[in-house]
Amino acid sequence: MADHRPVTSQQVAKRAGVSRTTVSFVLNDVPGANISEETRQRVLRAAAELGYVPNAAARSLVSGRTLTIGLVVAYAEHLKVDAFIPQLLFSMSQHSHLHGYRVLLETVEDVSRPDAYTDLVRGKHIDGFIAVNVRSDDRQLPELIRRNYPVVLLGFPGWEGYSVVTDGIGAGRRATEHLISLGHTRIAHITFSPEAYVATRDRHLGYRQALEQAGIGYRSSLVRYGNYSAASGYQAMKELLRRKPYPTALFAGNDTIAMGAMAAIHEQGLRIPEDIAVVGYDDIPTAPYMNPPLTTIRVSPVEQGRIAVEMLSALIRGNPPPERQVLLETPLVIRESCGASKHKK
């Protein structure tokens, strides 16, 4: 008969080769315990392997914390239609569990409100949060940093606090340069959101830089603004196809936008990549299965979530990470939608 008794901290201690006191200090995030990072990770691994479930109420009393971290998304519509956030949330949940935290998902629609973030901090009882898709005109996050509140941002290069970033400008430039290398000069761009958002602005800037550096010149008539959804990518591409000559290539601000744009191209009776080559951004799980498989920039949301949780957990414990900004690579994954393989033959 299977043993359904709960795993004890003594069992975790035995598996990790440490004392029960050390296990208690690690799992309760006791400040000033002077435990090495290697030992802490060994305890966390042992707890995960054994399926140890800490008593949340007891841990909260010991640590004086809520044992909850937040994932704050700047625009609620992003949650409904985008494929990046679910992967990020999955990763955050998995790795937060190892540190004994739950994840609370929240949205901040209007960052101009003086209390947009403080409402979350005070009212939702979280110990810190990770923010994604922030706006360039956000003035409240820097204030939280100055007050030493634990915050980690995703995708905000140049942020004065702690962040996990990708080089959106460089990636946008690289995607566009790839299309230029295939002989394209009429390259359209559909952003994934309004340009007030940092990630959108950076990818757009990279696209523009690549065109200008190649001597092609930037044309606003080939740019449209999406609104997170595949439907907005579809509508934006329909607009671009109302005027001839058609663009011969498209750099989409993310893969969800690319999916909608590809549907519009097919509906027009045009072929991908023969008539219009397409490059996306994100490398979502469905990208290899689109028709044709989508060439795209890989940003690894699962890895971003893992690193962000590690950074935030350290900040909450009062042990700031040595690096304020972790920069992840964004390789271009070449598949059939850009025509590169056919071009090389």
Distance of CA 102 to the CA centre of its chain: 19
CA 254, 259, 287, 79 torsion-angle sign = positive
pLDDT, tens only, 275-332: 999 999 999 999 999 999 999 999 999 999 999 999 999 998 888 888 989 999 999 9
The verdict on 159 and 262 lying in the same domain is no
- Whole-model pTM: value is 0.78
Residue 258 lies in a domain: yes
Residue 4 lies in a domain: no
The verdict on 179 and 288 lying in the same domain is yes
Distance of CA 117 to the CA centre of its chain: 19
Between CA 16 and CA 9 the distance in angstroms is: 10
Residues 6+ apart with CB under 8 A from 200: 191, 192, 193, 194, 253
Between CA 271 and CA 69 the distance in angstroms is: 46
Residue 56 lies in a domain: yes
The verdict on 263 and 175 lying in the same domain is yes
Q: Give the CATH number of the domain where residue 207 resides.
A: 3.40.50.2300
Half-sphere exposure (Cβ direction) of 42: Cα atoms closer than 13 Å: 14
The verdict on 185 and 239 lying in the same domain is yes
Residue 232 lies in a domain: yes
The verdict on 180 and 285 lying in the same domain is yes
Residue 3 lies in a domain: no
Q: Give the CATH number of the domain where residue 31 resides.
A: 1.10.260.40
| Domain housing 112 | 68-166+301-328
pLDDT of residue 198: 86
pLDDT, tens only, 232-290: 999 999 999 999 999 999 999 999 999 999 999 999 999 999 999 999 999 999 999 99
The verdict on 137 and 182 lying in the same domain is no
Residue 87 lies in a domain: yes
Number of domains in the chain: 3
Residue type at 149? Y
Residue numbers in the chain where pLDDT is lower than 50: 1-2, 56-58, 60-63, 114, 342-345
The verdict on 27 and 94 lying in the same domain is no
pLDDT of residue 1: 38
The verdict on 203 and 277 lying in the same domain is yes
8 A C-beta contact, residue 187 and residue 168: no
The verdict on 212 and 244 lying in the same domain is yes
The verdict on 209 and 130 lying in the same domain is no
Q: Are strands 295-298 and 332-333 parallel, antiparallel or unpaired?
A: antiparallel
